[in-house]
């Protein structure tokens, strides 16, 4: 399992009229966690894109337990629990301190610039094998 932690400060614009974070704003935070995890693994998403690969979201799920509020400092925990093959699934937790607010997941497919499914780059697959073997 690979794990990354990212700090997020809730901005006023991310809240609704009730003073809580709008439910759709958690997905961009998942994206921040996802790109951080890939970068920490030595495989920045920008580099994958420059080489012609894309990772569109093909499935997403979110479960809300408690609301986040304006000016909260949150931690987005991103986990890659299975070695990616043609798809990659990431799991997320959003916490305020120790308090669990939200869980979620995203599943992505590897595609090329033309939108066709492809295998991940060989060096990406090798890096993932090495990282998972070391854990």
- Here the CATH number for the domain that contains residue 99 is 3.10.129.10
- Cα distances from 95 to residues 40, 76, 78, in angstroms, run 20, 7, 11
Helix (H, G, I), strand (E, B) or coil at 135: coil
**Per-residue confidence band for 41, with pLDDT thresholds at 50, 70 and 90:** confident
| Structural domain that includes position 46 | 2-133
Q: Could you give the number of structural domains in the chain?
A: 1
Looking at residue 108, its pLDDT comes to 97
Alpha carbon distance 107, 37 (integer Å): 15
**Per-residue confidence band for 114, with pLDDT thresholds at 50, 70 and 90:** very high
Each residue's pLDDT tens digit, 122-135: 988 998 988 888 76
Each residue's pLDDT tens digit, 6-20: 999 999 999 999 999
The predicted model gives 9-33 an average pLDDT of 97
**Is the entire prediction scored with pTM above 0.85?**
yes
Is residue 123 annotated as a catalytic residue, yes or no?
no
DSSP assignment string, 50-74: HTT-B--EEEEEEEE-S--BTT-EE
User: Catalytic one among 16, 71, 91, 123?
Assistant: 16
pLDDT at residue 61 tops 80: yes
Tokens of 50: 């420059």
């Amino acid at each position: 399992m690979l794990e990354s932690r990212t700090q997020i400060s809730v901005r006023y614009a991310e809240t609704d009229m009730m003073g809580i974070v709008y439910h759709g704003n958690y997905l961009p935070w998942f994206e921040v966690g996802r790109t951080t995890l890939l970068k920490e693994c030595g495989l920045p998403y920008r580099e994958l894109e420059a080489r012609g690969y894309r990772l569109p979201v093909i499935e997403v799920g979110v479960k809300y337990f408690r609301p986040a509020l304006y000016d909260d400092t949150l931690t987005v925990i991103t986990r890659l629990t299975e070695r990616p093959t043609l798809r990659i699934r990431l799991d997320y937790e959003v916490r305020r301190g120790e308090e669990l607010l939200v869980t979620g997941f995203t599943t992505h497919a590897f595609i090329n610039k033309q939108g066709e499914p492809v295998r991940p780059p060989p060096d990406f697959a090798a890096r993932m094998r090495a990282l998972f073997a070391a854990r």
